[in-house]
Amino acid sequence: MALLKQAKPRYQDCILPSFPKLPSSRWPSRGHHFASFRNSTPSKSFILKASLSDPKTCRDANFRPLANFSPSIWKDTFASIPHLQSEIESCVKQVEELKEVVKEMLIAATDDPAENVLLIDTLCRLGVSYQFETEIEQQLIHIFESYANLPDNHDYDLYTIALLFRVLRQHGFKMPCDVFNKFKDENGKFKESLICDVKGMLSLYQATHLSMHGEDILDEALAFTTGHLPSLATNSSPHLAKHICEALEQPFYTGIPRLETLKFIPFYEQDESRNETLLKFSKLDFNKMQILYQQELRLVTSWWNDLNLISEYPYSRDRVVELYFWCVAEYFESRYSRARVMLTKILMILTVMDDTYDAYGTLDELQCFTQAIERWDIEALNELPDYMKSLYIAILNLYDELDDELSKEGRSYGVACTKDTLKELVRAYLVEAQHFREGVVPPFEERLDNAVITACPFFVPAASFIGMGEVAGIDAFDWIRSRPQMLISTCIIGRLRADMVSHEAEQRRGHVASVVEAYMKENGISREETIEKFEIMIDNAWKDVNEGCMRPTAVAMPLVTVILNVARIGEVFYKKVDGITNPQHFKHYIKQLFVDPI
């Protein structure tokens, strides 16, 4: 059967003059390979409900462990947001004018490194530091190179030392942890007098989350501050108490940057020492970025609706908005607009694949689909069940369009790497399906190894990098292929967090034994004890991630930041529930980020 060729993807000028170009809503389009099989939606009579009262059910060849995922809560919300050209242009103009004022503030550095770092940190927490990367880099290099003399030249308090430590490490400068020794007593314990310093205790607490292996003093500092901050919050002003409670719930460093900005702007607004120019600039910039996000959401929503997969695969999760939020969490800056659009499309197709393996397909069907992905050949279509054909076509179309686009830039190697990691991913999906149908609970290490692969340690970075332009050269994809520990540890965080909050619901509907069940069975311990062990594993994984962020980094810092943000996604998206599966969990955040301006 001949392929139905289609015009190459085109790009349109974005409404905001300061923003990069966006792919058109037609990119990538449907029907690149075939227009057939569009009416092959699984019939209701074909869908078998899971019945877990009989343990033999899961071994039935026709068993389909349906999850009955809730529908999208957004529908056409973002397809109907209007363009307000005059307001857009006014917002952009004001941002550019204030940007020059703030830039002058940043360049006019004082002789006190602490004041300069405080300004840099404020810009970071207000979400606008990306506008001044060169200026910030130059200042931090100078401060780091002279940090050895800081204790001699300045009698800094706990708040300031912890701030210097955190900001330098956040930017990849490995400031030594022994700067905190001065705050210990003769018994090697943190001084009790520090407990009265609320500001210093909170600053130290935030700094401890950038610890690495062997830095026991930071582990001690975390236990010390965590033990005292709750009571300090109860005796603080409501303004400060809320700030402390939010930090204990989600430390700044491990939080998603855009959400942390949402929390910090109202706190800063009530701070008596606030700078009105910085506050106004951050609000305007946030609203400007929100307009760009709305444009991108229109594009991906239109593409998703045109693709029509959700009507053909009703068992799957319709989460285009939530997955776009995931992409903003990875890289929120305006220069990564194309990358966000590309990645959202990739993740939406992946979600249908994931749910096909996890919540619908029979083992025979999944084996056929895995073989088809391995072949990556349109001729494999004839060997698939009818209902799988539209999905297979959509996959080939998407990657053909990606390959066409990146070939123009001489970067098609990125798409090749993404395909290879996708093949590895579906093999891991199939292993889980086999274990479930066979009723197998493998040893914990074996289960974790496969579960980490299904958490996409190599696929998501590859898919994230392809839209980032020249910063993601062939060396970046070679790094992914080398399977660095940083990538594996990032997905250990996400996998353990996800299974900790979702394993009970998954077992009720019928699902492969999670890493939680595997660990409990192997060690003969309770769920509560298992969670305690997992928290230690997560802490160790974070130390691996932090080490990977220190200079000199294996790849460019923007790429390292993406991986760091994936670890943060694991912490936030699976904090209490699976935020993708349960869309109500993020409804408030999504409205704040993408609907309601500040």
Rg of the Cα trace of the chain? 25
β-pair partners for 22: 12
The Cα–Cα gap between 216 and 211 comes to: 9
Q: How confident is the model at residue 152 (pLDDT cuts 50, 70, 90)?
A: low
Helix, coil or strand: residue 319: coil
Angle between helices 412-438 and 386-407 (to 10 degrees): 150
Q: Are 117 and 207 in contact (CB under 8 A)?
A: no
Host H or E run for residue 379:
none
- Kindly give, in sequence order, each residue whose CB lies less than 8 Å from that of residue 576, ignoring residues fewer than 6 positions away: 501, 585
* Alpha-carbon torsion (563, 567, 569, 570), positive or negative: positive
pLDDT digits (tens, 9 = 90+) for 188-232: 999 999 999 999 999 999 999 999 999 999 999 999 999 999 999
- Kindly give, in sequence order, each residue whose CB lies less than 8 Å from that of residue 10, ignoring residues fewer than 6 positions away: 24, 26, 27
Residue 68 confidence (pLDDT): 87
Q: Which residue has the tokens 């709750």?
A: 230
Residue 505 confidence (pLDDT): 62
Q: Are 491 and 457 in contact (CB under 8 A)?
A: yes
Host H or E run for residue 22:
strand 22-23
Q: How confident is the model at residue 66 (pLDDT cuts 50, 70, 90)?
A: confident
The Cα–Cα gap between 284 and 525 comes to: 52
10 Å CB burial of residue 120 (0-12, 13-18, 19+) is: buried
Instruction: Supply 379's token pair.
Output: 């001729």
Q: Are 585 and 579 in contact (CB under 8 A)?
A: yes
Long-range Cβ pairs for the range 247-253 (8 Å, 24+): 247/202, 247/205, 247/206, 248/205, 250/571, 250/572, 250/575, 251/205, 251/206, 251/209, 252/125, 252/206, 252/209, 253/166, 253/170, 253/206, 253/209, 253/210
DSSP summary character for residue 402: H
Q: How confident is the model at residue 58 (pLDDT cuts 50, 70, 90)?
A: low
Instruction: Supply 499's token pair.
Output: 């299974």
Instruction: Supply 391's token pair.
Output: 């999905």
Q: In sequence order, what E strands does 243-371 have?
A: none
Mean pLDDT of 54-61: 53
pLDDT digits (tens, 9 = 90+) for 396-453: 999 999 999 999 999 999 999 999 999 999 999 999 999 988 888 999 999 999 999 9
Q: How confident is the model at residue 111 (pLDDT cuts 50, 70, 90)?
A: confident
Q: 65 or 508, which is more confident?
A: 65
pLDDT digits (tens, 9 = 90+) for 287-301: 999 999 999 999 999
Torsion of CA 146, 149, 151, 156, to 10 degrees: -40
DSSP summary character for residue 190: B
C-alpha angle with apex 446: 66 to 343, nearest 5 degrees?
55
User: pTM for the full model?
Assistant: 0.90
524: left (phi over 0), alpha (psi -120 to 50) or beta: left
The Cα–Cα gap between 126 and 410 comes to: 37
Instruction: Supply 560's token pair.
Output: 């390292």
